[in-house]
Amino acid sequence: MSNVRTGAQIIWETLVREGVKTVFGYPGGAILPAYDAMLDYPVRHVLVRHEQGATHMADGYARASGEVGVAIATSGPGATNMVTGIATAMLDSSPILCITGQVGSRAIGTDAFQETDVTGVTLPITKHNYLVSDVDDIASTIHEAMYVARSGRPGPVLVDITKDAQQLSTELEWDPSDVKLPGYAPDLRATEAEYQRAADLINRAKRPVIFAGHGVMLSGAMGQVLDLAERANIPIAMTLLGIGGVPAQHPLNMGMMGMHGEAWVNEAIQEADLLLAFGMRFDDRVTGNLKTYAPNARKIHIDIDPAEFNKNVKVDVALAGDLSMVLSDLSPLVESGDRTDWLHTIHDMKGDVAVRDIQNLPDNGHLYAAHVINDIWRITNGKAIVVTDVGQHQMWEAQYYRHNEPRTLITSGGLGTMGFALPAAIGAKLANPDAEVWVVAGDGGFQMTMAELATIAQENIKINVAVINNGYLGMVRQWQEFFYERRYAATPLLSPDFAKLAECFGLAGATINTRADVEPAISKARSDERTVVMDFQVEQEDTVYPMVPAGADLHKMIRRPSLAPIVETADDE
């Protein structure tokens, strides 16, 4: 059989050989040859409603499965619509491959119809990108792009392929070992002396804290982190993207750190004498004011990306490499330890947290977002994949949905991309068809990408969508409340009837505005074969507590006022 293929055929043949089964995309002029060839290959194509959705779906697919998600679009506007999704994947180290059509190679640079310098536009927001104008380069480039996307610190890679390269034919040569990247060395190893220094610091520490970041899951080091923590009795704090890497129910897992982290977690960090940062990058959202951050703590930083060392926080020992491999070398040097005093101190820090917890507020007729999310957690037994949008609901999800399994919280952390949840959930569902997938989104972010409800209908996808509808762009409103004298500039938000909207798309809808109706609505949605959009009309001016104001000292949190007076007021009425 002849090995001669068109460039368009080579694209699909290469993707299939790379194990790609699902792609998310939108056709157009410059990518038409590839779309024509697609029909002959065993690939499921999901037609999105906007190319941003394709990138978020690929991202959700990648985060839920650990495999590279693939998005495809045409030149010009098709490609520029991908920019937000690519940047989202970049900041959260998510491996996606974006394939874009480009105008014919002779038309490049002429401002041809739908021509954009896509490799130029995406250069700073991709791990790497390629412009392919020679049919002979397509196979090797896609193979290399997949490798770059998934290896080392994962990230988005874009391959821009000219229309003529898709149309011309060549002999397909496929060599799966053929990656010629002389400067790309994703596997780093630290020296033995550095391991010993790190182990000495750990063995001497009286008040250490482990930081579990996204890298714990990307590296598959969940078991090793727990093993180290249990053996040396070291409590664990998680970053937002680290949630799921350590079971929420584990007694050493304190919870989330940072701006909306648990108060005692941040206090423990400030009291600590050693921080062990595993696969995290000391983002400003977790450190607060760097000048007063963990003032008594030595720092050990393990990350696959050496460019993260000493970027925000000066560290004492930096170990470069894949976390799982580094821990294999480091853990044997760590002695088991009894840190009962420290664990008791942390326990005492919890203090009055129970009376401040909104979960303990009796039903006073108000529906709070935290109750909704807590009920979703309870009724799904904490086993759903939850995909959140960005804002207050995202932080409440992180606080009240207790994830015990890795890759079950999918959220845009670094870029904070509103509109992420719905498309990313579609990707997560297609990566895990048997999983129960929930979207938790605000009324603002949901409206940014809700056109993808049509994709859900067309592809016959079953997910559950909880819109936490408070009539405001809630997180911005909260900042206006705290820092801008309640001047609510452009945050009140009028929304459509989300339940009716869902029905327009051929899906199911429900509207819930009392606490008693939450549980029945969740149960009903779970048993419905259709995707259900639940409009939870919650308290409008509710606030995420605790909160470390941007740039403030980590231990100087705004706490939720004690709930006792509120209860009395409710009783008085």
Footprint of another protein (CB under 8 A): 119-120, 123-124, 127-128, 131, 148, 181-185, 190-191, 194, 284, 290-291, 305-307, 309-311, 314, 318, 320, 550-551
Which stretch of DSSP H or E encloses residue 167? helix 163-167
Closer CB to another protein, 128 or 150, in the complex: 128
Please tell me the distance from the alpha carbon of residue 282 to that of residue 285, in angstroms, as a whole number: 8
Angle of CA points 353, 356, 362, to nearest 5°: 130
Amino acid at 535: D
Residue 494 CB, nearest distance to another protein (Å)? 27
CB of 160 to another protein, least distance (A): 11
CA distance 526 to 463: 9
Active-site residue, 51 included: yes
- Could you confirm whether 163 is annotated as catalytic? yes
The values of phi and psi at residue 397, to 5°, are -60, -50
Catalytic residue among 9, 24, 38, 51: 51
Rounded to the nearest whole angstrom, what is the least distance from the CB of residue 109 to another protein in the complex? 13
Which one, 124 or 365, has the nearer CB to another protein?
Answer: 124
CB 86 within 8 A of CB 124: no
Minimum CB–partner distance for residue 72 and another protein (Å): 22
Q: How far apart are CA 451 and CA 47, in angstroms?
A: 12
**Going by C-beta distance under 8 Å and a sequence separation of 6 or more, which residues neighbour residue 277?**
211, 213, 299, 300, 301, 302, 303, 315
What is the closest distance, in whole angstroms, from the C-beta atom of residue 204 to another protein in the complex?
Answer: 19
Which member of 57, 127, 163, 254 is catalytic? Answer: 163
Structure tokens at 479: 């900042």
Q: Which of 396, 370, 381 is nearest to 435 (CA)?
A: 381
In sign, the C-alpha dihedral spanning 307, 313, 314, 320 is negative
Q: What phi, psi does 367 have (nearest 5°)? A: -105, 120
- Residue 311 a catalytic site member: no
Nearer to another protein, 318 or 425 (CB): 318
Per the residue annotation, which of 113, 206, 359, 482 is the catalytic one?
113
Q: Which is nearer to another protein, 284 or 352 (CB)?
A: 284
- Catalytic residue, candidates 21, 114, 405, 436: 114
Tokens standing for residue 2: 């002849």
Helices assigned H by DSSP within 380-414: 392-400
Question: How do strand 464-469 and strand 508-512 relate by DSSP bridges?
Answer: unpaired
- Catalytic, 547? Answer no
Residue 309 or 545: which CB sits closer to another protein? 309
Instruction: Establish whether 114 is a catalytic residue.
Output: yes
Characterise 350 by phi-psi region: left (phi > 0), alpha (psi -120 to 50), beta (else): alpha
User: In this complex, which beta carbon is closest to another protein, that of residue 109 or of residue 223?
Assistant: 109
Question: What is the closest distance, in whole angstroms, from the C-beta atom of residue 126 to another protein in the complex?
Answer: 10
Looking at the annotation, which residues are catalytic? Answer: 51, 113-114, 163, 475
